[in-house]
Amino acid sequence: MSVSQAVLQLFQGVLAVAVAPLVLGWLNQCRAWLQNRRAPSLLQPYRVLIKLLRKEMVLATNASWLFRLAPYVVFACMVLAGAIVPLVATDLPFARAADVIALVGLFALARVFMALAAMDVGTAFGSLGSRREMLIAALAEPALLMVFFTPALISHSTALTTIVDQFSNGALQIHPSMAFAAVAFVMVLLAENARIPVDNPSTHLELTMVHEAMILEYSGRHLALMDWAHALKLTVYMGIGIALFLPWGMAHPQNWLELPLALAALGVKLALAGAGLALLETLAAKMRIFKVPEFLGMAFMLAVLGMLVHFLVET
Amino acid sequence: MKIDILVPEFEPVPGAVIAWRAEVDAATWRLSAHQVWEHGGRLIALWAADTGRSPSVHLALVFAGRLLWLSLPVKGPEPEYPDLSDLFPAAARMQRAVFDLVGIRARGDLVDKRRWLRHGAWPVSEFPLRRGFDAGRRFDPVADDYAFVRVAGDGVHEIAVGPVHAGAIEPGHFRFSVVGERVLRLEERLGYAHKGIEKRFETLGVHDGYRLAGRVSGDSTVAYAWAYSMAAEAAAGLTPPPRALWLRALWLERERIANHLGDLGHIGNDAGLGFALAQFSRLKEDWLRSNQYAFGHRYLMDRVLPGGAAVDLADDAMMRMRDDIVRVRGEIARLRVIFDEHPGLQDRLVGTGRVTRELGERLGMTGLAARASGMPLDLRSSFPCAPYDALQPRMVVHEGGDVAARTALRFDEVIESLQCCGRILDGMPEGNIATLYPTPEEGAVGIGWVEGWRGDILIALETGSNGALRRVHPHDPSWRNWPVLEHAIIGNIVPDFPLINKSFNLSYSGQDL
């Protein structure tokens, strides 16, 4: 690992962490506009994080070390994920160490800690949320893996950087299989990031919550980390989507001059992704929890179809 | 006078709603209630009073198109009266509240002896609505036990929600017994908001009570103030001028529209459609601002008072309201298309929280929720007092009994009420808006009964000496609909409860004075 690579890796990691609340702020702004509401400031998520970091923490008396550790583990997992996914450049030393399967594992680790911590205090809502999260995760995870397999088959690698290099450098090829994978990926993204129609991030109804129910007992610094990790996860997912389906414009290895262009391209792509997500969320109502298996089953099936199409048409 | 098959001799209680009153003994109390029940009558309210002579229990029933008021004086150190909860399930909580407040116990094999409104805020031996109780005293609140019904079985567990909720709503505790996400049983525990309103009434004059009545449940302030004024006017033998009555009807319909608009937005929002909330909130806000502009109060508090109305309608306000009606009707039509054609939303609403007509009739459901289950109950049509006898609003009834039906009913009622508002603006008679309210005689009684947006609100009052109030009992329709909610959720899944609850939108405050 050269110094330049290390600097690039560090830059990308910091970028992901720093930009995550902005992505959430943009998404909320788009949602507000689409609903004919006046939007909160783009910087509102940062203000909330600062407020929470300053606030006193209230811990349940029976909270164990697990409860206190979980926010750090979850946050660390998401930071690492942010470092693995190529956002502006593909020359990332970390990315070579961990491929898409490791990435799925990283998300799973964060989820397990969050679910265990939610049950730790023993409130009804914590276990309610964990239970529902596990139902969703058990179906979203295989669908996500399936989504990854199509580009992996095309590029003969499970490393994200190699996939991106292949897609963005080679001659422009149309892969019908990737269209199936893209739709499936968006469905998984909605489910995994607690967005409408699977979960409602802005609800105050404790009985309907999934993600929010799990972090209901957190406050202060812990809640800030959880919220930040949540925003980071959304950004990372968008990053994965961009890397797989819109990889053009990323800086090539050893080519530092392309970096500003890559940053601008990332900004535009994230803005488009955020606006698109806001549109999806505005048009849809929340589905019943028991419809989620059908929804994710559909995502899985689409991903499998993508693979089949690849085998039938593209080889 | 004899009424149909009933035993007691009834006397008319004059007023806008003619009620028939009889004093009965314990055996006749039970017999009359049984006959009313047997012939399809309904229970409206059950309350008790300790007015100095002797404590008494009161019962309001609807039978053969008449409102009946039975009074049963009770005696002794441990006064009792026959239980009616086997006939009218809705009576169970009213009877428990009667014991908590006045200390008169229902006698029967199936009587639920748990407290309902008393949560430890006052000692077990004290009964706040008894004459001798000093409302100024302070007690140290103590935590008390409440025996929820336990559901046993493999995999059954409980989810306890409230009384403090994540959103800013009134306090109420809901105990779900669930298997996975499916609800086997819901038990409500309410009564966290006891304010002592009924006790406070006893310190007020008949003419001043309307302000307190208008604050029993803030979303129905016009309906409560009208019901109170109707009762007070009945006690004084006064008929308000026609223009005042038309103004009241205008306000009542405006209140109905405002609440329906708000509810429609929240039903959409609870199904995850934030767009609906944004649109309906805007409509409701504009509507409330028109209230402020035309009548000086967003929610129309203190506009209705005994003797008439507090403010008149100016010409420019009338213009603005006509414009509002046209605009809201147009927007509602467009929003309704969005609601009806949104597959995700309809999937959440249709079939959710279904209450059949049979169940609704058995439990004594009323008001909006009853009309959504095919029960044609609307005082504006079935007991029309002026000016509804002239306005003749169409009663909207839906058969579905689910959240979708309660949503569709709100859409229809908004349209109907808008038309009603238009007719009121067209036909508003000229003249005074109030007459001087005289001091009623001591011991005069009056009854007021008004169809609020949620259902029928009953207020019964008795006057004391020099225009004082001896006893006022406001009765919210939520008394009869809260128990229905417990049944509506059975077999549904936990995350659908907020939606079902919102579609009923019952008052916590109204049934816990």
Q: Do B344 and A285 touch (CB under 8 A)?
A: yes
Q: What is the mean pLDDT of chain A?
A: 92
pLDDT tens track for B398-433: 999 999 999 999 999 999 999 999 999 999 999 999
Residue closest to B487 by CA, chosen among B123, B185, B58:
B185
pLDDT tens for each residue of B79-136: 999 999 999 999 999 999 999 999 999 999 889 999 999 888 888 888 999 988 888 8
Nearest-by-Cβ selection for A35 from B160, B274, B342: B274
Among B165, B189, B213, identify where a domain stops: B189
Question: Which pTM does this prediction carry?
Answer: 0.93
Residue B137 belongs to some domain of the structure: no
Question: Residue B23 sits in which domain range?
Answer: 11-107
Q: Are residues B368 and B482 in the same domain?
A: yes
Average pLDDT over residues B318-342: 95
SS3 of chain A: helix, strand, coil, percent, to 5: 75, 0, 25
Which residues have C-beta within 8 Å of that of residue A241, sequence separation ≥ 6?
A: A182, A185, A186, A189, A273
Residue A247 has what pLDDT? Answer: 87
What span, in angstroms and rounded, lies between the C-alpha atoms of B295 and B157?
52
pLDDT of residue A165: 85
Q: Are residues B297 and B394 in the same domain?
A: yes
User: Is the distance from CB of A220 to CB of A55 less than 8 angstroms?
Assistant: yes
A94 pLDDT more than 90: no
Specify the CATH number for the domain of residue B84: 3.30.460.80
pLDDT value of position A112: 96
CA distance A204 to A130: 17
Tell me if chain B has a CB within 8 Å of the CB of A47. no
B253 and B162, same structural domain?
no
| B162 and B215 housed in the same domain | no
User: What are the boundaries of each domain within chain A?
Assistant: 3-314
Output the average pLDDT for chain B: 93
Q: What is the CA radius of gyration of chain A?
A: 19
Residues in chain B with CB shorter than 8 Å from the CB of A288 are 347-348, 493, 495-496
The reply to whether residue A287 touches residue B347, judged by beta carbons under 8 angstroms, is: yes
Q: Do A285 and B495 touch (CB under 8 A)?
A: no
Task: Supply the pLDDT for residue A201.
Answer: 87
**Final residue of a domain: which of B107, B127, B147?**
B107
- Taking contacts as CB-CB distances below 8 angstroms, the residues of chain A near B159 are 124-125, 128, 207
B273 lies in the same domain as B325: yes
Cα-to-chain-centroid distance, residue A237: 3
Residue B6 placed within a domain: no
- pLDDT at position B242, please? 95
Tell whether B95 and B237 lie within a shared domain. Answer: no
- DSSP summary character for residue A256: G
pLDDT per residue over B426-473, tens digit each? Answer: 999 999 999 999 999 999 999 999 999 999 999 999 999 899 999 999
Residue B121, domain member (yes or no): no
Touching check for B496 and chain A: CB below 8 Å? yes
- Residue B190: is its pLDDT beyond 90? yes
Asked if residue B480 belongs to a domain, the reply is yes
Which of B273, B496, B505 would you mutate first to test chain A, the one with the most A CBs within 10 A?
Answer: B273
Judge whether B409 and B399 are in contact, CB under 8 Å: no
Whether B9 has its CB under 8 Å from any CB of chain A: the answer is: no
Residue A288 contacts B where some CB pair is shorter than 8 Å: yes
Establish whether the linkage from the previous residue to B242 is cis, with ω within 30° of 0.
no
ipTM of the complex: 0.89
**Complete DSSP assignment for A159-222:** -HHHHHHHHHHSPP---HHHHHHHHHHHHHHHHHTT-TTT--TT---GGG-SHHHHTTT--HHH
The reply to whether residue A285 touches residue B282, judged by beta carbons under 8 angstroms, is no
Number of domains making up chain B: 3
A280 touches chain B (CB under 8 A): no
Q: Is residue A172 scored above 70 in pLDDT?
A: no
Q: Is residue B184 located within the same domain as residue B201? A: no
* pLDDT tens digits for range A202-242: 888 888 999 999 999 999 999 999 999 999 999 999 999 99
pLDDT score recorded for residue A188: 97
Rounded to whole angstroms, how far apart are CA atoms B387 and B391?
A: 6
Q: How sure is the predictor about B32, in pLDDT bands with cuts at 50, 70 and 90?
A: very high
Nearest CA in chain B to A34: B275
Domain for residue B500, yes or no? yes
**Is B164 touching A (CB cutoff 8 A)?**
no
pLDDT (tens digit per residue) in A277-289 = 999 999 999 999 9
At residue B55, φ and ψ (nearest 5 deg) are: -65, 155
Q: Do B495 and A289 touch (CB under 8 A)?
A: yes
In sequence order, what are the residues at sequence separation of 6 or more whose Cβ sits closer than 8 angstroms to the Cβ of residue B298? B288, B289, B291, B292
> Is the CB of A289 inside 8 Å of chain B's CB atoms?
yes
Is B161 within 8 Å of chain A by CB? yes
How do residues B129-181 score in pLDDT, each as one tens digit? 998 888 888 888 888 789 999 998 998 989 999 898 877 788 999 999 999 89
CA distance A36 to chain B (A): 7
Is the confidence at residue A294, as pLDDT, over 70? yes
- Residue type (1 letter), B458: L
| CB burial string B452-483: b at 16+ within 10 A, e below | bbbbbbbbbbbbbeebbbbbbbbbbbbbbbbb
Q: Do residues B15 and B38 both lie within one domain? A: yes
Same domain, B259 and B171: no
B212-246: pLDDT as tens digits: 999 999 999 999 999 999 999 999 999 999 999 99
Per-residue model confidence (pLDDT) at position A1: 64
Indicate whether B34 pLDDT > 90: yes
